[in-house]
Amino acid sequence: MRLILLSILFISLNISKAQSSFPYKITKKDWLIAPISAATLITGQLLGKKDFNLNVEEIQDLNRQTINAFDRGATYNWSTSAQQFSDITEQTLRFAPLLYMIPIVKNKTWNNGVALGLMYAEVLMLNTGITGITKSLTKRIRPYLYNSSFTVEERFDFQGEEAPEAKTSFFSGHSSTAFASAVFLSKTFTDIYGKTTLSKVIWVGSLSLATATAIARFEAGVHFPTDVLAGAVVGSVIGYLIPVLHKSTKDKLSFSVFPNQIYVTYKLG
């Protein structure tokens, strides 16, 4: 993890080399994207204020055999150390894109900073909002509550670790945030620098850390495999889509006029 952070820091300090061809810009689309992202976040937060915990009787009635075979293995898991690990890796990825601010402040390229900042804010708001709304609507019970290795009373007390979120298993917010941040960082870095060895390091390193986050959530017993897979897909799509929507493109179609001749050129890629 430290190696990844040091690599990101080293690369961000040299980002000034790519500032002359900064590929993003704020457009009229942000008048739609930003409010939608904010509204989604607020809706998710309002729905998430409910108490999603179970009482003792509800926990006692749970049976892991009602869980599909693919997800059932998660009901045997419980690990506080895995939970703590997932918290650290998720937060690491969440704040990693902020390293872009180092060269922006150094080179005073404020317009670039505003563009990247708005884009990442949209990613986080949209991802958090969609995650929260989905959790509130599906109300899926977390796997540790099915773990009969512990007494009903112990499982009831375990809810304190996730309170009041015992029925917010689908989908994994840690996974969606980790993948959204990882893909956003990797995509923007590649667009700024191009497809280089360093960009591949960023992709592999950040996605590996996001994957470790998802696995840790499963090992902790707080999410089913389908929870973390769905979170990974949703987060990845959002982290990739927002940069694409903000990428400035030069005209691919051009005309050249000469005496008695007109040339039409179309640039591929």
- The string of pLDDT tens digits covering residues 184-217 is 999 999 998 889 898 999 999 999 999 999 999 9
Q: Which pLDDT does position 254 carry in this prediction? A: 46
Residue 105 or residue 75, greater confidence? 75
Q: Which pLDDT does position 257 carry in this prediction? A: 47
At 255, the pLDDT band (50, 70, 90 cuts) reads very low
Name 219's bridge partners.
none
Q: Which pLDDT does position 111 carry in this prediction? A: 87
Measured distance CA(162)–CA(214) in Å, rounded = 16
The DSSP result for 44-111, as a single string, is HHHHTTS-----HHHHHT--GGGS-HHHHGGGG---HHHHHHHHHHHHHHHHGGGGGHHHHHHHT-HH
Mean pLDDT value across residues 48-61: 90
Q: Which pLDDT does position 13 carry in this prediction? A: 52
Q: Which pLDDT does position 261 carry in this prediction? A: 56
Q: Which pLDDT does position 103 carry in this prediction? A: 74
Q: Which pLDDT does position 107 carry in this prediction? A: 74
Q: Which pLDDT does position 249 carry in this prediction? A: 64
Contacts of 35 (CB under 8 A, 6+ apart): none
pLDDT at residue 179 tops 80: yes
Which is it for the CA torsion 67, 68, 69, 74, positive or negative? negative
At 16, the pLDDT band (50, 70, 90 cuts) reads very low
- Residue 238 is inside which H or E element, if any? helix 225-246
Q: What percent of the chain clears pLDDT 90, i.e. is strictly above it?
A: 67
- The string of pLDDT tens digits covering residues 85-107 is 999 999 999 999 988 877 777 77
Q: What is the DSSP letter of 142?
A: P
- Mean predicted lDDT score pLDDT of the chain: 86
Residue 259 or residue 98, greater confidence? 98
Q: Vertex 87, ends 112 and 33: CA angle to 5°? A: 35
Measured distance CA(187)–CA(177) in Å, rounded = 15
Number of H helices, E strands in the chain: 11, 2
Q: Which pLDDT does position 268 carry in this prediction? A: 44
Per the CB < 8 A criterion, the answer to whether 180 and 96 are in contact is no
Residue 247 or residue 73, greater confidence? 73
Identify the residue whose tokens are 């739609």.
Answer: 32
Measured distance CA(123)–CA(32) in Å, rounded = 14
Q: Which pLDDT does position 2 carry in this prediction? A: 57
Phi, psi at residue 266, to the nearest 5°? -125, 120
- The string of pLDDT tens digits covering residues 110-169 is 888 899 999 999 999 999 999 999 999 999 999 999 999 999 999 998 887 555 689 999
Fill in the amino acid letter for 60.
Answer: Q
By CB atoms closer than 10 A (0-12, 13-18, 19+), residue 110 is exposed
